[in-house]
Chains A and B, each alone.
Chain A
Amino acid sequence: MSILEVQNVNKSFGGLKALQNVNLKVEEGTIHAIIGPNGAGKSTLLNCFVGKLVPDTGSVIFDGQSLLQKKPHEINQMGVSRVFQTPEIFTDLTVFENVMIPCFAKRDGSFERNAWKPVTNESEIRDRAEQMLIDVNMIEKRDMIASSLSRGDKRRLEMAMCLSQSPKLLLLDEPTAGMARADTESTIELLKEIQDRLQITMAIIEHDMGVVFSLAQKISVLAQGTVIAEDLPDAIRSNSKVKEAYLGTAAED
């Protein structure tokens, strides 16, 4: 069953057609990669999922409900979490507070009414946040201010924040962009492990082919705003249109 269905989405900025008739289906429980060269419209597409942009035409259906005209926080409350290209975390707060916030948002909805009972009494939330930090191996850093974390740790923290909400769909925008090789590999391991353990559906936008082929169960290739191929990784690897899009001309080998 597909959890996210994108149908005939068009989006243009002025004269530039960023997306043209994009169709996409993300199956539940899989890792679906969206790849494409620079300027292919990957980020535009992602922004249409999360409520940052509204497509000009077409529909985006998540779990049977349309995502169009919904605000980011409403979409998150429906079960879509997002990891950003550069980790977006609460840099002035401690690691532990960072993880508690999404837990509160998940339990109490989009407006936190409790302005009286101290956070220290919320044992249910604290246990959950602690468990999430143990899961990503960051429990010993719980009282550090988040801005002092290394980049890799910031990414793991962001991941823990998203996972603490047990999302139905996790969107990842180039999760390994700008990372050192070792960090990239540990991120891939982390994602794989999450997939195995929690069976969370993921849609991942990626540039790095190595990452894509070692992670994805299905791949959509975007080029110049359209999906030129959607298939299993092995089929994509040998697809001539994809090679052309990436290399400019048909591959010579």
Chain B
Amino acid sequence: MLNLNQRDTGTFLFVIIIAVLAPFIMNPFPTDSAMAQFNAGYPDLMQRFVIFGIFAIGFNILFGLTGYLSFGHAAFLGVGSYAAVWMFKLLSYNIVPALFLSVIIAGIFSLFIGFLCLRRSGIYFSILTLAFAQMSFAIAYSVLSNPKFNLTNGETGLQVYADDIQLFQVENLTTPHLFGWTMNTTYELTLSAWDFQFNVGYYVSACVMLFMFYISIRIFRSPFGLMLRAVKTNQTRLNYTGVNTRPHTLAAFVISGMYAGLAGGLLASMDPLAGAERMQWTASGEVVLMTILGGAGTLLGPLLGAGFIKYFENILSKINDNVLHAWFQYLPEWLENSLVWVLHWFTGKGWHLTLGLLFMIIVIFLPGGLMDGANRIREALRGRKAKKNLQTPVE
């Protein structure tokens, strides 16, 4: 199907089904039950799953295939967001021109940064990208937001005001929309105790994600993708084989930058606001974590990693001390208090600690990330040991 081999078709269909049914799958617990706080089927979080999925899929084309670890991809995400909001301000709330400009601007930006950073490899490349991203952050945060020339609106963040130009604005559409279909429209479906939400923004983002996922599969399986994997393995041999590695890595860098720009544009389309903090190094680090956690160099890994991290970020951080006390109230008071005291460090504001521990466990025991774990389970179920040297050929 779609010129994919059987296995990739299976993977793609799997992702399509998950994406379409996500409002059900993410919402396994009845609304009134105590477990309802573990539900992830609300629009805001589901949008984040797929948007950061796009970000990670793109990052994986650079990091997973060529092995060049960029620590500055959030800069492209931020640039994409700013570009989108500017389109809202100048043209209208229609997201099509916004997304279009996000991708173009992020592409130009990554071409420039990539051209400079790719002169080095390894740790020097990572540090250079980090430096550029932090520079972009500083520029967005202060330099480009002075009264004479206000491109980013600094600390407040760029947003749409009533007196903006909005050349093609339609009267009653005052939030981002796709030809009249507003992103924040949510249809609800109540089935006995369950409450399912179908959000336009989510489905638009999911469609974009599926399209980008398909493109990434095609890149992975193409001769160009093969060259990128060769870059990761042995650049010397590749050079002496008549291949100029620089344009390949630069192309991969720009492609992943455009993915990041698209993700940024989508973020702004869901909530028309762009702030500089989106470009900060923590955001760059997050996409690295997502990719490694899910499995760098695999097709599904980045999507899994993005979902995993966004889920923990949103769900764990909601569990504050009051919630914990409610959970353990049936226990003797001293036990309740000590349990809450321990868990306090791992939930609520301390969710990063849990994430860090999970990350450590996964990297130590599953070097190939969650996909590695999934493969091991599959192998175990089939009842044969994974042979290290005879992995299924990737092509």
Contact = CB atoms under 8 A, between A and B. Distances in A.
B227 A101 contact: yes
Interface in B238-273: 238-245, 247-248, 251
B222 A111 contact: no
A120 interface: yes
Interface string A95-123: 01100111011101111111111111110
Interface stretch (B101-109, B317-325, B386-394): B386-394
B376 interface: no
B232 A115 contact: no
Interface bin, chain A? 35 or more
Contacts of A50: 240
Contacts of A147: 389
B218 interface: yes
Given A50-B240, A104-B227, A161-B241, A119 B393 contact: no
Contact of B234 (A72, A89, A110, A114): A89
Contacts of A250: none
A82 B237 CA distance: 9
A71 B394 contact: no
Nearest to A143: B393
A94 B225 CA distance: 14
B63 to A, nearest CB: 15
Interface bin, chain B? 35 or more
B236 interface: yes
B222 A119 contact: yes
B233 interface: yes
A17 interface: no
20 contacts: A71-B239, A73-B239, A82-B240, A90-B237, A92-B233, A93-B226, A93-B230, A100-B226, A101-B238, A101-B243, A105-B243, A112-B226, A117-B223, A118-B5, A118-B222, A119-B226, A120-B5, A122-B223, A125-B223, A165-B241
Given A93-B229, A115-B218, A144-B389, 14 more contacts: A72-B240, A73-B240, A90-B237, A94-B394, A101-B243, A111-B243, A113-B224, A114-B223, A118-B218, A119-B225, A119-B226, A120-B5, A125-B223, A161-B237
Interface of B: 3-5, 218-219, 221-227, 229-230, 232-234, 236-245, 247-248, 251, 389-391, 393-395
